[in-house]
Homo-oligomer: A and B are copies of this chain.
Amino acid sequence: MVSIKDIARAAQVSHSTVSRALRNSPLVNIETRALIHKLAGEAGYTVSAVGRSLVTKRTSTIGVVVTTIADPFAGEVVSGIEEFALSHDYSVILAACHADPDRELRAVHSLQERRVDGILVMASRIGALYLPRLSGMKVPIVLINSHHPGEFVYSIRIDNVDGARLATKHLVDLGHRRIAYIGDRFGFQSDMERLTGYREMLEETNPGFEADLGFEPDLVAYGDGTPEGGRQAMLQLLSRAARPTAVFCYNDRMAIGAMRAVREQGLRVPRDVSIAGFDDLFLSSYTDPPLTTVRQPKRDMGVQAGEILLQLLAGEKPESRVTSGVLVVRESTGPPRSAASLRSAIRSHG
């Protein structure tokens, strides 16, 4: 592998001069600089980041911790991170922890050894095991929609309460009285917040707890975040005495499973049950019917996380940021049928 010294020999100068020339330092004569660039080009020389890092004590590298990159949500956020990184001459080192304590430890340890300049964490669950290791590292850490905002100072997250209110209000405005929530049973902070927004909106709309509107524990079911989990939760809701006419789901994946459950019961979306999700995944606009959901600015959140990290690296004290979701109304939500027609529809199917 050709190094700076080989170029120096070829150009009959010291390696210091080569180093300076390649970084376009004004300290070096314009002609020698040109010569060195020419020789370096011919020799196919590329500066070694490892040599450089050793002296500069910076690797221009950021670690991204993610539960799994196969999650389409994570993919889009990381895509934003990567875009930001590339445009600022940083590289992204991926570390998937798979919610597995052993892998978490190994992944973070590896980032530590590689001396990343900073870390972005998007794992919804930050394991108790590697949390101390993370905070023990001397590098800045920015959390993205994560669970432990208290432990770490800097984060970017979506306003879950507001987003949930948006979705719930939409369902209320359509005329629904019995609106259910399918949450994530792992009890992430984000789930708590979305539940809060859902609950707030219901209670505000109906301060006196009139019949058929207001928060009812019976109208909350839990899945595991996957379509199958959403399906199971929806089946539960449908089997209860007073079924909901609309459901707000913690995320799009469960909403998709919920739609399937509705179909399996011979009912139709949104005619019999309206369904709204959260996230707006790439494929959510291609479900049948297309899914009403709260869009998270995923790429942008990745970019903003990068910006916060950069400020941190520059020694500034950035504010944590909160972005807002926007309600995307598609065709999975609509006005409720009257109770009578719903009953007859069920009878004709059963």
Which residues of A pack against B, CB within 8 Å?
A: 1, 44, 46-51, 53-54, 57, 59, 61, 64, 68-72, 74-76, 78-79, 82-83, 86, 89, 91-96, 98, 103, 106-107, 109-115, 136, 138, 227, 256-257, 259-260, 263, 281-283, 285-288, 299
Contacts and interface: CB of A to CB of B under 8 A. Distances in A.
Given A69-B78, A113-B49, A286 B263 contact: no
A107 B90 CA distance: 10
A115 B112 CA distance: 18
Given A54-B51, A72-B75, A107 B94 contact: no
Nearest to A283: B283
Which of A53, A92, A110 has the largest count of B CB atoms less than 10 A from its CB? Answer: A110
Contact of A79 (B96, B136, B138): B96
A107 B86 contact: yes
Contacts of A110: 86, 89, 91
A259 B282 contact: no
A314 to B, nearest CB: 19
Contacts of A1: 57, 138
B54 A83 contact: no
Given A50-B54, A109-B46, A260 B282 contact: no
B78 A103 contact: no
Given A49-B115, A82-B96, A287-B287, 19 more contacts: A1-B57, A46-B109, A61-B114, A69-B69, A69-B75, A70-B75, A70-B78, A70-B299, A71-B75, A75-B75, A78-B94, A82-B94, A83-B96, A92-B94, A93-B94, A227-B286, A256-B283, A260-B286, A286-B287
A262 to B, nearest CB: 10
26 contacts: A1-B138, A44-B136, A46-B112, A49-B115, A50-B50, A50-B53, A50-B59, A50-B114, A54-B54, A61-B114, A64-B94, A69-B82, A70-B76, A70-B299, A71-B75, A72-B283, A75-B75, A82-B94, A82-B96, A86-B110, A91-B94, A91-B114, A93-B94, A227-B283, A260-B288, A286-B287
